[in-house]
Amino acid sequence: MEDETFRTESVYYAVNLAKRINCSASVLMLTEYSDDENARFASKQKIVEKILDLIRAEGVSAQGISRYGDKASGLLKHLATYSSFEAIIWGGKKEITSKHNMQGPDHWLAKIRKTIRCPVVSPTKKT
């Protein structure tokens, strides 16, 4: 997730995928530094805890963390820390998938996409 934004459909997609392939979930909140870091950290931790509660309520083991600073670097560090990832379920801003189409060069995730060795999935609600 990114900047306190999370989409419920991404959480439920991740839960269902974890159940199907019998794995756990790792929740990562990425954000840049801010002036009032303590207040923002508390806010982000509450969001991460809420998401962890949703996942665990479905019987899936989960852990979560917030990383601050360069978002691309934070994601790559997270992937290196936990060696086996089946997929990244993008739960951040929906515009990334609709306007930027993940191949566009203007979002940090698009810039590092080729270095990620697992699928990046961005679930959306069916309308």
Domain that holds residue 75: 8-121
Is 71 domain-assigned? Answer: yes
Is 94 domain-assigned? Answer: yes
pLDDT at 35: 62
Is 39 domain-assigned? Answer: yes
Determine the average pLDDT of the residues in 110-121.
82
| Contact in structure between 4 and 31 (CB atoms under 8 Å) | yes
Would the pLDDT of 22 be above 90? Answer: yes
Bridge-partner residues for 30, per DSSP?
2, 67
> What are the distances in angstroms from CA 108 to CA 64, 68, 103?
21, 14, 11
Q: What pLDDT band is residue 93 in, cutting at 50, 70 and 90?
A: low
Is 3 domain-assigned? Answer: no
User: What torsion, rounded to 10 degrees, do the Cα atoms 81, 94, 19, 67 define?
Assistant: 20
| CATH number of the domain residue 38 falls in | 3.40.50.620
Is 2 domain-assigned? Answer: no
Would the pLDDT of 18 be above 50? Answer: yes
Assessment of whether the complete model's pTM goes beyond 0.85 = no
Higher-pLDDT residue of 46 and 52 is 52
Domains: count for the chain: 1
Would the pLDDT of 19 be above 90? Answer: yes
Looking at the chain, the whole-number percentage of residues with pLDDT higher than 70 is 80
Is 83 domain-assigned? Answer: yes
3-state secondary structure of 25: strand
Is 108 domain-assigned? Answer: yes
Is 126 domain-assigned? Answer: no
Give residue for tokens 């479905």.
58
